[in-house]
Structure 1
Amino acid sequence: MTDTSGDPFVAEEFERLRPHLRSVAYRVLGSLTEAEDAVQEAWLRLHRSDRAEIDNLGGWLTTVVARVSLTLLKARRSRRESGLAELAECLPDPIVTPVDGTPSPEEAVLLADSLGLALLVVLDTLTPTERLTFVLHDMFGVGYDEIARMVERSPEAARKAASRARRRVRGSGAVPDPDPARQRAVVDAFLAATRDGDIAGLVRVLAPDVVLRADTGILRVVAGAPAVAQQAAVFRRLAHDTRPVLVNGVAGLANGAAVMAFTVRDGLITEIDILGDKERLARLDLTFPDDETLPEGAR
């Protein structure tokens, strides 16, 4: 076996492919930390492999990252089903960027064909095999024959898994309005109404069956426009320290206590996802070029 760790070409190619590999892992796992772990494991396995036996380095690494991600996803699902409190339901990790800024090259790859938090929540309801198959085929164009080898199923079984996932995604209502300006106008109206404590104004921009998910370490769900409007009004004081951001490429808000992602469809907010877990917020880079940082607490 030939150790590839000292080959500068391999190291350079790996770094070139790293953003793509991280993007695959993030979409499968919904966790930036676990995605980085999966990429690092691929690097370690590459070190232990014979480079002469790898015809397509990008394909080989994508396969390794996919398999590692699938293993992590299955382990997470198993521990959750065992009832471990520390693995209770939580929101996926958000990717937060300034409204008028340019994302880093790594962020740009993660945000390409970006998935809003609401859609990542939907993916979290799929089986590990359905999620991996959907992500690889529908987002990265990997063929069913290749996916079948990764998941140890037949190509037909892989095709059916992707089809089931696709139906769940299409029926979820979690796909946002594609027009950023329309998204932002609705979210700005929501913020203005929150600052004014205007319950009627909040209800006007909320879909009747809107769902709010708030993750402060424990996931709480509030449903229905009146209940969500009342919940939003509670944070009137914080609204004055809130700024517009992009969360996973769509209109969002952030302040010292939370990052808020919105799904806007047909001019109304259908889903709101709020990450207020202090430990997880501390791991996010919320420093933007036009100010030193968001208010204290979001660092």
Structure 2
Amino acid sequence: MTTTSTTTKATTRAVAVNARTAAARAGLQRGWIEFRQTMTSGQDLWSVMFFPVVTLVVMFLLRHNTVPGTGFSLGSQALPGILGMNVVLNGMMMLALSLTMDREDGTLLRAKATPKGMTGYLVGKVTSRAGTAVIGLLVPLVPAAFLFGGLDLGRPSAWITLVWVVVLGLVAVLPFGAILGSLFGSAQGVGFVTFPMMVLMGISGVFYPISGFPEWLQWVGQAFPLYWLALGLRSAMLPDAMAVAEIGESWRHLETAAMLGLWAVAGILLAPLVLRRMARRQSGSVVKEQQRKAMQQRTT
């Protein structure tokens, strides 16, 4: 009897693992298809590039301003932070928007009705948004390397640092995109996060070294992953001498990895709980009500 029970449990676990594996594989395929569609759509590409294009133009106009205490261009110093902000916008914020729109049009409900469909759906969304975020970083980096002097991208260590910072940064912010998309009932609701994001951008040292802020504001900025993502990108793209403008006059790689890792663990633990809670509330009647409200907002 015990042997039969053990065999049954083992078989059940194996079936569950196979189902999750199949769902993850389908999600990767879906994510790749969505990513290709984004890369071949002029409108989608413009939405990916709009923020970095505007900010790069502004920073180029400020290229003759210098970082206090150095002769280094403020525009070049701000470039890595701008690219880091673009990773957050194209990763976390766009994932949140995609999830809310899929709730409105019933895509999420159809995924919920499929065995392990939510797993495949989330893997697909994370894959497509991660790919878009990486492209949103690399494409502006090419012209920026010619427009902004002082960047130090010729070292192999620079690209190694760039890779691990971007990967860890995406793991840190993408789960919170899923959480935001689960908490807000519409794309307009996610839009309200834009203002806090702009404030966070200002206090995270994206445009100006955070070491020049009051100490209490420095602590606030360092509590969020955007600061550490931008710091890691600066350590990859800028000369080592520019660490003098940072807190502690150091790139603090260990602290960067630790803080982004903490945010990643928190997001990975919280996101499935929030998503499951949101998915349980989805039904045909809820989707119809969301579509009715969306139509009303478009006509008013």
**TM-score normalised according to structure 1 size:** 0.29
Q: Rg larger in 1 or in 2?
A: 2
Choose between structure 1 and 2: higher strand proportion: 1
- Structure having greater relative contact order (Cα 8 Å, sep ≥ 6): 2
Choose between structure 1 and 2: higher helix proportion: 2
